Every structure is written in C-alpha cells, then in structure tokens.
Amino acid sequence: MLFDTHAHLNARQFKDDQEEVIRRAKENGVSRIVNLGFDRESIGTSLALAEKYDFIYTAVGFHPTDAKEMKDEDLDWLRELSKHEKVVAIGEIGLDYYWDTSPKDVQHRVFRNQIRLAKEVGLPIVIHDREAHQDVIDILREENAAEVGGIMHCFSGSVEMAKECMDMNFYISLGGPVTFKNAKKPKEVAKQIPLDRLLIETDCPYLTPEPYRGKRNESGYVRYVAETIAQLREMEYEDLAKITYDNAMRLFKL
C-alpha cells in the first residue's frame, strides 16, 4: 500500500496515456494519490480527475510562479472549492526564487493569503520551497501555519530545517532526488527524521527517481522512493510503505 502524496497527472506530459499511467500506478501498489492544482486551469482539471477516480484526491492553490496571476476573486473560488469532498489540502503554495516569473513581494502576499485561507477552512497546506528556505520558514512562523500544518513537498533542506518544520506541525515529504547517488541532504533527512513525520511522493512528471532518471516520472515510481528510504533506514520496505501510507491518511483526514 503506497500513497503518492504529490502528483501532476493532469499535466500535458500525460495527455496521450493518462489512463494507462494511472493503471500502472495501481499495479505498482499505489492505492491513494493526491493530485495538485497550481493555477486556474490545472485546479479545474485536477478536480475533474479526482471526481473520476475514487482513489485520487486533490489539493488546490496558486503556485508561487503563478502568484502574479492570482486575483482576489480566486481566493473566494478556492474557499468555495475547499468544501468539495475530494479537496484535502490547500496547495501547492509557497515561494520560488529560482524562476523569476512573479515578484517576491507578490509571492509573499499570495502565500500569506493562502495560509490564512487554509486556517479559515481547516485544511493542511502543501509547501513549494525553491531557493527560499528562510523566507518560507519565517512566513510559516509569522502566520502561525502550525495551526493547520501540512507538507514540505519534495523537501530539499537540511536536517536542522526539517526539525524546524516538524516543530511547526509539518510532515517532510521526499521524492525522486532521495534516490540520486550524490543527493547527500535528502539521504541524511531520510535517515534521521522521525518515521511518524515522513511522507513519500513523485511530483510526476518531474524529478524521476533512479533507475528512470531523465525520463518522464509517473505515480507508480513512488515505490523506488520507498525502497530507497527503507534501505537507508535498514528496515523492511513493506513497513516503510505502511508507515508513510498511514501518515498521509492521518494528515489528509481520510
């Protein structure tokens, strides 16, 4: 039983074989998936996907690279969507200083607004953090995001940062990079964080794990993430799979 806590199965990379990819995920032992929306279009198609498949859920939010596109009425729209039975989180939201598509002040405002919305509607948040570690931590603390908690998606920080996040009621989610040979930080985090705070994900079609690195990622490949972490922790794969599955079920209140 595997839970892929972060996928983009509605991405254009899956337009020709989406159903086959979802079928392969099931064959690989994936029994639950949270698919993420990040702008107006992807939120709509992600919700449609969750309505079509009983084991797929969705999170809705505006990605930091799309922050400048978010309007006041979009916040009202997200508030309405949060009542849907298949919407389990607000996300992915956060800060991205790598892609220069939305000004930092706009990203900060949109991030804060969505944290406040999540607290209002009582849903956890899914955090995107790229090259913005300290600002993400500061905003989460200032907005008292611990009230709802959530996921540090595809975590790339240090063990020390992971501890700060866990202190604020966040789970640490690891994806494909933990399987990369030279990925020292993710491997260290995988070995050291408490098992009851660990999640796994693919972020498909991106960040494909070994042995498929360089090719399109898909949800079924989350098993390679689980296998790698189990090896790093010197534990049984089945135990790691069950623990991370139970963690996700608890977080998303499923």
Rounded average pLDDT per 10-residue block, the chain, 254 residues: 97 98 98 97 98 98 96 96 98 95 96 98 98 97 98 97 98 98 96 98 98 97 98 98 98 98
- Pairing between β-strand 125-130 and β-strand 198-200 as defined by DSSP bridges: unpaired
Q: In 10 A of CB 243, how many CB atoms?
A: 19
pLDDT for the residue 116: 98
Q: In 10 A of CB 151, how many CB atoms?
A: 28
Q: Of 16, 99, 30, 111, whose CA–CA distance to 70 is shortest?
A: 111
Separation CA 190–CA 162 (nearest Å): 10
Residue type, 11: A
Q: In 10 A of CB 184, how many CB atoms?
A: 9
- List beta partners, residue 149: none
The residues near 17 (Cβ < 8 Å, ≥ 6 apart) are none
pLDDT for the residue 109: 98
Task: Enter the pTM of the model.
Answer: 0.97
pLDDT for the residue 100: 81
Q: Of 63, 61, 7, 10, whose CA–CA distance to 32 is shortest?
A: 7
Query: Burial level of 128, CB count in 10 A (0-12/13-18/19+)?
Result: buried
Separation CA 217–CA 219 (nearest Å): 7
Token representation of residue 139: 């905003």
Domain 2-251: which CATH number of 3.30.565.60, 3.20.20.140, 3.20.20.80, 3.90.550.10: 3.20.20.140
Q: Which helix (H) or strand (E) holds 205?
A: none
Separation CA 247–CA 249 (nearest Å): 6
Q: Give percent helix, percent strand, percent coil of the chain, each to the nearest 5.
A: 50, 20, 30
User: What is the edge-to-edge ordering of all strands in the sheet holding 2-7?
Assistant: 2-7, 30-36, 56-60, 87-96, 125-130, 150-152, 170-174, 198-200
Sign of the C-alpha dihedral computed for residues 205, 61, 179 and 31 taken in this order: negative
